[in-house]
Structure 1
Amino acid sequence: MTPRTEQHRPQMSVEEFEELERHASETVRLEFIEGKVQVKAVPDGDHSEIYMWLLEQCMQARPELRLHPERGLKTEAYRKGRARADAVLVPKGSLRGRGEWSEADGVLMAVEITSYDSDTAQRDRVEKPGGYAAAGIPVCLLIDRDDCSLVVFDQPEDGHYRHQEKLPFGATVELPEPVNITLDTEPLKEFAD
């Protein structure tokens, strides 16, 4: 067997991951990205404040949509991944009847807010946007606290986003179709270190 094949062999099946996740402590959040079990940091206070800022912006601009926190999504090719987005933007009522790990259809935007842990660079900046693109989510918004920027990914195709734009905290950020929201990111400057 070649090293490349071994590298891409999942640690377990999706079903085994879901069973493990169901029995995990409430203080741990698990994800299954690119065939690997990953531990996601529990949000700190600044993370929660940034989420609330975004929630307010979305509600004011598009009251017919809902920004749900900590949503489990089936991601990646053939829905073999399980990512817990920091937030998903969906039409009101579209999550009714869905389980903990739902299909990504109907999700207009996935949101990631970086955490201060050793895996955030690879997980939040590379792996999760790729999984969201493969799932067909039209827009991914990364709020990167490490370099005080927002990255807007859009135009998903073949497991990646064809377009991305990076803007600093304080800039006006235009979220493209089908989100169509303009964000005033000036308040995010207070989270810059």
Structure 2
Amino acid sequence: MTVMAERTSHMLVAEFEQIASAAPETVTLEFIGGRIEEKRVPDGDHGEIVKWVQKRCMQHRPDLWLYGDERGLKVEEYRMGRARPDGALARDGYFAGQGEWADPDGVLMTVEITSYDGDTERRDRVEKPAAYAAAGIPVHLLVDRDSCELVVHTNPAPDRGCYLDVHRAPFGEQVVLPDPVGITLDTEILKNYVR
């Protein structure tokens, strides 16, 4: 993957979209930081965490929906990035008519869940939060299965490509997802979904 990433660092977004649209269903591609990236197929625990966050959102904010990783977002304005978060919280129906790569303006929160692979540090903890901040997404939630904690990123600074506020909470604590999300999560169950 590194060789491909180095060769495609000057790829145009239209070229990436053409490659991504032709990829088989077993491969999910993203374009972050000027590089093409392959997103791993999630394991069963990963899917349970997405379902858990989705269920909490439905219970507390029935006006919103947590869309799964089939939703692509246009991120990183200056690099014209493309990402598929594990979850994108938006009003119900927000993605209608937007095609494969949607504008992130109506997304209130992105969710990423770490995978057990060598790219997690760079992709999930560095590049994706920076991309979501650059897109101005108000809240980014990282469920970090390696460190057994939730990391809540808020107060995006799009011009700087970072979130100004980061709160870490170990699994088992109550975690507040601030406005515009406005949900409190009891994270005890997440202890069941780590290796």
- 1:79/1:138 CA distance change after superposition, 3 Å: farther
Residue 15 of structure 1: aligned partner? 14
Residue 98 of structure 2: aligned partner? 98
Q: What is the root-mean-square deviation in Å for CA atoms of aligned residues?
A: 1.3
CA distances 1:14-49 after superposition (whole Å, capped 9, x unpaired): 000000001111111100001001111011100000
Q: TM-score, with normalisation over the residues of structure 1?
A: 0.93
Q: Distance in 1 between matches of 2:172 and 2:82?
A: 32
Q: TM-score, with normalisation over the residues of structure 2?
A: 0.92
Q: Name the SS for the 1:105 alignment partner.
A: helix
Q: Is contact 1:79-1:135 (8 Å) kept?
A: no
Q: Name the SS for the 1:136 alignment partner.
A: coil
Q: Name the SS for the 1:170 alignment partner.
A: coil
| Percent of matched pairs sharing the same residue | 58
What code does the residue aligned with 1:77 have? E
Moved more, 69-78 or 168-177: 69-78
Q: Distance in 2 between matches of 1:184 and 1:121?
A: 25
Pairs within 5 Å for 1:43-192: 43-70=42-69, 71-78=71-78, 80-157=80-157, 158=159, 159-192=161-194
Q: How many residues align?
A: 186
How far 1:11 sits from its partner (Å)? Answer: 3.4
How far 1:98 sits from its partner (Å)? Answer: 1.0
Segments ≥4 residues shifted beyond 4 Å: none
Question: Which consecutive unaligned segments of at least 5 residues does structure 1 have?
Answer: 1-6
Question: Which consecutive unaligned segments of at least 5 residues does structure 2 have?
Answer: 1-5
